Amino acid sequence: MKVSLEWLREFIDVLVPAEELAEILTRGGIEIGGIEQLNQGLEAILVGEIESMEHHPNADKLWICQVNLGSQNVQIVTGAQNLLLKDKIPVATHGTTLPTGQKIRKSKLRGVESNGMLCSTDELLLDSSLGDPRSEDGIMILPPEALIGKSLAELIQGDTILDLDLYPNRPDCLAMNNVAREVSSLTREKVHLNRWAETEQGPDYPADLQTKIVIEEPELCHRYAALLVEEVKIEPSPEWMQKRLIAAGVRPISNIVDITNYCMLEMGQPLHAFDRDKVTGAVHVRRAAQGEKLMTLDNVERTLDPEMLLIADDEKALGLAGVMGGLDSEITEATTRILVESAHFDSVSIRRTSRRLGLRSEASNRFEKGINVAGIAATLGRVGDLILKLGAGKPVGFVDENKVVSETRTVVLTVAKTGSLLGMNFTLEEVADVLERLQFPYERQGEGFLVTIPSYRSDIQIEEDMIEEVARLTGYDRIPTTLPQGSTTQGRRTPEQEFRRKLRHLLANLGLNEVITYSFNRPNADELWGHSDQSISIMNPLREELSVMRTTLIPGLLEVASRNVARRNLDVCIFEIGNVFWTTEQHLTKLPEEKLRLAGLLHGKPSRHWLKSVSEYNFYTVKGIIEELAQEFGLKLKYQVPQGTELLHPGRSAEIYLQGKKVGFMGELHPMRGKDSALEHALVFEIELAPLFAASDRSIRATSIPRYPAIQRDLAVVVSKDVSARDVMARIHGLGGALLDNVDIFDVYTGKPIAEGHKSLAFTMRYQSLERTLTDEEVTTLNKQILEGIEKEFGAESRK
């Protein structure tokens, strides 16, 4: 927002220099991006008029111009192509130094003498919006009323511009009236605003019975008002208005358009004027049809969609709501009746339209940040006054379609909480003084105040917002600097964090790569692998297919693996640690339950050294990973054959149990599932981590290295095929006692000479004592006890 000090002084007596005012505003939370002096360095630049133009005899693109400077005529050669006879332009003569630092000298261009230079806005360091629209193509074209021979500094008065860098929470300061209020609250100077800035009432013109407003989308347009003006005379606006618009960075066009822009800058309410005779029937506020076309004022045909809001009549679109008007309803010199629009549009809708079309304007900028809906009608009153003042027409009717119930916002402000949050003591009188400076109505309530918030301060909603106002106006520098208080503790990871960290390191060392997938799943995939009856639907999904919160991690891993395999990265070994989300409610009334899980997927051939002996990943690869995990955290896991699964291979899968409770599953994808997803022979596992953490043994035990040798014996037995090798191994451990250090199975065999229905199991048993050397007799006796025990329990026979 560019603020002209000359304009600001109309509303408040600014007694301090511009630099000091900028410092005051910045300390008060309104940051100033820069200070600009409009006529700095323009004193030696003169206003000239082109008397004649001739083509240069030796250059097709050069012109020889005779320029009248009042007291003299000078010849200047220029390459500008935007000039016409009788144009008034800025001239730098011999010896003049431009604001850029360039010094002008007499010269010859292709043999023709040139005694100066015609200047563009860039060379004068002026805003490109200054001058006639033709100025954008080259030399700056001055207004026809500019006096020949006068200094350009007199034409462009010595105004000072403050460039306000506003944050999104202060859209009110996009209006000169509210900037004046802000300066008043910071400097204690009284404001003297026009009558329309102090009221929410509309103008008292008769109701416009000719104009019917139809708001078809009340959630996108909350209020729409219009002013009917007849006997319109289109002509240039007066010099004082043009200068103020130029200072604010707005290019003057005509009196009617300039009045709407002037009121927007002054009141903060965007406006647009339609040629009333080009509007057929009622004015509709509606969504655009898919593929609907609109030629906007910048002569570009726009293709629209139903997400965009339009202003239209009974037959055609008139303009993009809140962004830009249409060319078909543009005001021209032939216009005699106009309809001035003042409305409140949904900020999100305007932002989306502006971004999709790549079209931004002063109006859209204000609508995106939010405007004061209570000031819509009053702004049209200000428009009517200016139209009468400039003799631009006669306001004859007013219409207001309001879909908003105006509510008065109040906030309770207590002295105790103000002091507590800001860390300093305040009295009731000090807080009341702040409210007086803000000009906020209030009532005393005990040790605090009930404050009525003006409609233009949309940023104030709660008590903390008002406390920020107290801090701003009393001075942030008054808030004391204090050191943090309280007992200090050494930062460290929680046991759960340490558990997850060790788990990640373990899996990474085993050759798995960690991935992170979305917390959302496809409904069909989540139903297949998880629990769809407990899943949570998302109201605004990132993608239409990812519309439920995940109850399992497997679909995310399958998608990652499929993407890799599709790109010929066939060897995939990945894991993820993440939350899944559960609910027992059909409609959420409380936060869902979150459960932390570990899931993994293996596909293809191992690439790490510890598995190079394996040609491809298989069920035992996954089981080995799970066993490594169990050994790392001191867990005793058991495995059972799953019942009735259609997702995993019936002979290559298992359910994982801990302390009698199922905590996960593992196995190869069912042949039909793997074939459908191009992940044939892929293996997956998923485990609940909370039970693992609760049962993990996190203590560290140290044992000395055995000093005495170990004795190893092998045992081969024949048992029925129904007997589990794990059960036999567990029984061997029990029978071996303290001297049996370890048991490993190294062979499972079926076939001749083993009888049908039986299998051979071969074990290696390692005996060792930490206190003495074992004898052969002791080990032989233990071996015999073990064999007798498993013969009795499992019907085993020693294999000779």
Reduced to 3 DSSP states, what percent helix, strand and coil does the chain have, rounded to the nearest 5? 30, 30, 40
Which of 568, 726, 578 has the alpha carbon at shortest distance from 641?
A: 726
Q: Determine the distance from the C-alpha atom of residue 294 to the mean position of all C-alpha atoms in its chain, rounded to a whole number.
A: 29
Residue 135: phi, psi to the nearest 5?
A: -65, -25
Please name every residue paired with 439 in a beta bridge, in sequence order, or none if there are none.
Answer: none
3-state SS string for 675-723? HHCCCCCCEEEEEEHHHHHHHCCCCCCCCCCCCCCCEEEEEEEEEECCC
Whole-angstrom CA distances from 585 to 528, 553, 590, 592 are: 20, 21, 9, 9
User: Where are the strands (E) in 496-592, listed by range?
Assistant: 513-514, 520-521, 536-537, 548-549, 572-582
Residue 621 to residue 602: CA distance in whole angstroms: 9
Residue 546: phi, psi to the nearest 5?
A: -95, 80
User: Where are the strands (E) in 387-510, listed by range?
Assistant: 394-402, 409-414, 442-445, 448-453
Residues in contact with 628: Cβ distance below 8 Å, sequence separation at least 6, in sequence order = 506, 510
Determine contact, residues 499/511, Cβ cutoff 8 Å.
no
Which DSSP letter does residue 100 get? T
Which of 120, 158, 131, 150 has the alpha carbon at shortest distance from 38?
A: 158
Residue 666 to residue 686: CA distance in whole angstroms: 7
Determine contact, residues 712/757, Cβ cutoff 8 Å.
no
Q: Which two tokens stand for residue 291?
A: 């593929």
Torsion sign (Cα): 565, 568, 569, 572: positive
Q: Angle at Cα 418 formed by Cα 414 and Cα 420, nearest 5°?
A: 120
Residue 390: phi, psi to the nearest 5?
A: -90, -5
Q: Angle at Cα 235 formed by Cα 234 and Cα 236, nearest 5°?
A: 140
Q: Helices 18-27 and 176-187 sit at what angle, rounded to 10 degrees?
A: 80
Residue 480 to residue 489: CA distance in whole angstroms: 25
Residue 436: phi, psi to the nearest 5?
A: -65, -45
Q: Which two tokens stand for residue 79?
A: 């390459």
Binding annotation for Mg(2+): 459, 465, 468-469
Determine contact, residues 232/248, Cβ cutoff 8 Å.
no
Which of 581, 600, 602, 603 has the alpha carbon at shortest distance from 592?
A: 581
Residue 228 to residue 209: CA distance in whole angstroms: 10
Residue 765 to residue 465: CA distance in whole angstroms: 75
Region of 559 (left: φ > 0; alpha: ψ -120 to 50; beta: rest) is alpha
The residue whose two tokens read 């004027």 is 273
Binding annotation: 459, 465, 468-469
Q: Cis ω on the peptide bond leading into residue 203 (within 30° of 0)?
A: no
Residue 779 to residue 785: CA distance in whole angstroms: 10
Residue 713 to residue 784: CA distance in whole angstroms: 11
Determine contact, residues 47/149, Cβ cutoff 8 Å.
yes
Determine contact, residues 683/602, Cβ cutoff 8 Å.
yes
